[in-house]
Amino acid sequence: MGATLKDVAQHAGVSYSTVSRVLSGQPHVRPEVAARVREAAAALGYVPDGRARSLKTRRATVIGAIVTDVCQEFITPVVRAIEDVASRRGFAVLLANADDDEGKEESYAELLLQEGVAGAVVAATGDRSRAALRLAQGGVPVVAFDRRVDAVDVDSVTVDNVGGACAAVSHLLAAGYRRVALLAGLMIAGTARMRCEGFEAAHRRTGIPINRGLVVQELRTSDEAAAAAAQLLEGPRPPDAVFTTNARLAAGALAAVRSSGLRLGSDLGFVTFDDPLWTRLLECPLTTVAQPTYDIGCRAAEALFRRIDGDAGPPVHEVLETSLQVRASTMPRAPVPVSQ
């Protein structure tokens, strides 16, 4: 648990009521005493407890949602589902966009604590999310989605990232592609690492070696993916297929493919993890690994409300299945599939 008003009072050597007056901005406290109280609060990391204020109205009616980047195609339907579940329960959702920044993520955790939210769903920037840990230490129920959090054992809702990526790359190899490029996101995130594991697993299963020169990781933006893809496509031994670990990287890679003059599905195979609508609207629709995004949000919100309602059981980790959506971007190159 975090520091209390009583802890601050003991540290500063003043009464509980004095601390309360200082931290609530009331007058009639000597400046030197007020300074001592504020120094004690800072030293102890005291956070004003909005939840205590909410008890006056019997319960808080707001939950928090911290996401990595609200612009990601994956995030929007998940947040919509969280809001739908919360709305049915009479709750509002306070959305915080961490923008893939761990410091920003921690700041939002502190804000949610101050606002006295009843609980929070978190798509952490990294596996060892200090934000999720801080919320849990502050007594706020937390549910992780998209990726588990190693820093604290809380409920989570994720998908089979290894299996989904393995199915996608196995499909490419079975279709006759042999030089598959991998464009992957930040390795601080378990999702990217597990999708890379799936890429490796598919090659092991088929006995086809990985072309390490075609593997590029730690890509954050679509522009970075475009530059990486352009460099690979212009190289002396370019890939005959591309697998990207999320749709943002796919968009960048496709820009490079267009500039190269290559035709998807005939000159170059292409698969991405994530299945946003635009992948189906291209002249050559993309083969994708679809995630049950709305279901992820629903289950994460439902798990959170079970905790808010008092469920004190051990953490539950749900892993949902993905589905491979085969489209024109992976037209077969070989008449006989490789052995699985």
pLDDT of the residue at 335:
46
Same domain, 155 and 298: yes
Same domain, 66 and 141: yes
- Let me know: does 190 contact 126? Beta carbons within 8 Å: no
Mean of per-residue pLDDT scores for the chain = 88
Same domain, 20 and 135: no
Number of domains within the chain = 3
Q: In the predicted model, is pLDDT for residue 56 greater than 60?
A: no
Can you give the CATH number for the domain in which 22 is found?
A: 1.10.260.40
* pLDDT tier at 137, thresholds 50, 70, 90: confident
Terminal CA-to-CA distance of the chain, rounded, Å? 51
Can you give the CATH number for the domain in which 303 is found?
A: 3.40.50.2300
Quick check: is 336 in a domain? no
Quick check: is 244 in a domain? yes
- Let me know: does 120 contact 98? Beta carbons within 8 Å: no
Same domain, 153 and 165: no
Q: In the predicted model, is pLDDT for residue 337 greater than 60?
A: no
Cα maximum dimension of the chain: 86
Lowest mean pLDDT among 25-39, 161-175, 217-231, 309-323: 25-39
**pLDDT of 93-114, one tens digit each?**
999 988 878 888 888 888 898 8
- When pLDDT is averaged across residues 258-284 and rounded to a whole number, the result is 94
Quick check: is 261 in a domain? yes
Quick check: is 340 in a domain? no
Q: Which residues fall within 8 angstroms of residue 168, CB to CB, at 6 or more apart? A: 198, 202, 243, 271, 273, 287, 289, 324
d(CA 223, CA 229) in angstroms, rounded, equals: 10
Which residues constitute the domain of residue 77?
51-159+293-320
Quick check: is 339 in a domain? no
Quick check: is 335 in a domain? no
Quick check: is 65 in a domain? yes
- Look at the block and give the residue holding tokens 């102890």: 44
- Let me know: does 120 contact 66? Beta carbons within 8 Å: yes
Same domain, 154 and 263: no
**pLDDT of 285-318, one tens digit each?**
999 999 999 999 999 999 999 998 888 899 999 9
**pLDDT of 157-215, one tens digit each?**
999 999 999 999 999 999 999 999 999 998 888 899 999 999 999 999 999 999 999 99
